[in-house]
Structure 1
């Protein structure tokens, strides 16, 4: 059954956390709560993707990942959505363009872990992403140095907002990005799959 599009009114600031969530885990929930607090977001939408173009092996079925995400992330200001499957978009830049056209007047902030900033230059139309919406980066275990030294961080060095001023990100004009260190929860989807706690047989 198709999901309905999440609601947002003009003037609201919505953080977007995209990924395969294969599976969702407490680390995802933790950075989401920190993002709401640090960046002054009104809402966060988890964009549970049909698949990650950078990953060779496909993820678990979308319905299974959505159900797990809802079990892990229960917060009145967070919505779990399969909006990318509904829009038919494959890449983040495409998704952002469609969302900005559909939700006129809503301010979007793209959220990512520091590990994604380290490889952002490999994403399709990554410069378009940086020019489209502010980007909030949340540090996770082991990725701080590589993220800060990444091509994206160097190229957009002058667009960086300090962590102390993170509350300004939501209202900043793109390109703008902010890197914040958060108390860490050392959990990963890869470790959960490796431990055999995911992709259980029917």
Structure 2
């Protein structure tokens, strides 16, 4: 786990990053700025239980590629889930909060994940563990109105103008962040590679 100090505001941006791309880097930059984060943990997961593991590049390769596209020193590329043999986000966030008392964390995810968020293992526990920032993605802008999570936690939604306060709020609390969007997707990049072969 990256080193943090009490009082810091830290974003956790998890994903398989298979492969990482400029769209992911854009999400990281936007959230550091809009949430006024001291650090952002770019958490490369060993795998995603909701996705096909057959296409997953080796963890070391995804880590190296992630480090290559994240020059900002506030971004800490890590894969600590693998060392702890963690599969589910709720377990990751419980570990992070128990080991880092006095640090204010925010879970960061793209709006494209919001539609299926209610299928995540213990998704309601995630909502109760730490605030969440949902970042706009092409084709997913309206997900913050229609998703199961958005409807179930509509009263916990924080206005985007209040995003800098999000890390300091007691969960459940979430916001939807609009801004520059990238049409890049890891799925499309993998398909393009297969088409070249």
Partner of 1:126: 123
In structure 1, the partner of 2:33 is 37
**Higher relative helix content:** 2
- Residues 99-146 of structure 1 deviation map (CA, whole Å, 9 limit, x = unaligned): 111111111100000011111100000000000100001001001113
> Matches of 2:73 and 2:194 in 1, distance apart?
27
Equivalent pair of 1:17/1:112 in contact (CA under 8 Å): yes
Alpha-carbon distance in structure 2 between the residues aligned to 1:56 and 1:77: 31
Q: Does structure 1 conserve the Cα–Cα contact (< 8 Å) formed by 2:47 and 2:53?
A: no
Partner deviation per Cα, 1:80-109 (whole Å, 9 max, x = no partner): 001111121110000000111111111110
* Length-normalised TM-score, structure 2: 0.95
Distance 2:53 2:121 in 1: 19
CA distance in 2, matches of 1:43, 1:49: 18
Q: In 2, Cα distance between the equivalents of 1:180 and 1:28?
A: 14
Aligned equivalent of 2:7: 11
2:72 corresponding residue in structure 1: 75
1:139 paired to 2:142: no
Question: Secondary structure, in 3 states, of the residue corresponding to 1:143?
Answer: coil
Q: Would you say how many aligned residue pairs link Structure 1 and Structure 2? A: 195
2:173 maps to 1:176: yes
Deviation track 1:59-95 (CA, whole Å, cap 9, x = no partner) reads 1000010011011111110000011111211100000
Contact 1:118–1:148 under 8 Å retained in 2: no
For residues 97-112 of structure 1, what are the structure 2 equivalents within 5 Å? 97-112=94-109
Structure 1 unaligned regions, length at least 5: none
Task: Give secondary structure in 2 for the equivalent of 1:161.
Answer: coil
Secondary structure, counterpart of 1:44 in structure 2: strand
Q: Unpaired segments of 5 or more residues in structure 2?
A: none
Structure 1: 4+ residue segments shifted above 6 A: none
TM-superposed CA distance for 1:197, in Å, is 7.5
| CA contact 1:23–1:65 (8 Å) conserved in 2 | yes
Alpha-carbon distance between aligned partners in 1 of 2:115 and 2:9, rounded to the nearest angstrom:
25
Q: Deviations over 1:10-59 (max 9, x none)?
A: 11111000000000000000010000111111100011000100012331
Alignment root-mean-square deviation, CA: 1.4
CA distance in 2, matches of 1:146, 1:106: 29
Provide the TM-score with structure 1 as the length reference.
0.93
